[in-house]
Amino acid sequence: MMKKMRFIIPEDFPKEVYEAYKRRQEIWENIRNIKNKNILNNFFEEK
């Protein structure tokens, strides 16, 4: 299990950059979930 990375935001951090970072994280989570589903589906189809 990978540990979630803590993203520390300084007070003067640009909001757009943080939003973009969060969006990227969400996209990666989605990709990971899709990959895991595909792996599971392939695994069950082979049996």
Q: What is the pLDDT of residues 6-31, one digit of tens each?
A: 666 666 778 888 888 889 999 989 98
How far apart are the C-alpha atoms of 15 and 30, rounded to whole Å?
22
Considering the domain boundaries, does residue 6 fall inside one? Answer: no
Q: ∠37-18-4 over CA atoms, to 5°?
A: 45
Nearest-angstrom CA–CA distance, 3 and 34: 19
Instruction: Please report whether residue 1 resides in a domain.
Output: no
Count of structural domains within the chain: 1
Global pTM? 0.46
Show the domain range for 46: 14-47
Distance of alpha carbon 9 from alpha carbon 18, whole angstroms: 8
Q: Please report whether residue 9 resides in a domain.
A: no
Radius of gyration of the chain (CA): 16
The answer to whether residue 47 sits within a structural domain is yes
**Do the Cβ atoms of 25 and 11 come closer than 8 Å?**
no
Give me the residue label for tokens 């943080």.
18
- 34-43 pLDDT, tens digit each: 888 888 787 7
Q: Considering the domain boundaries, does residue 40 fall inside one?
A: yes
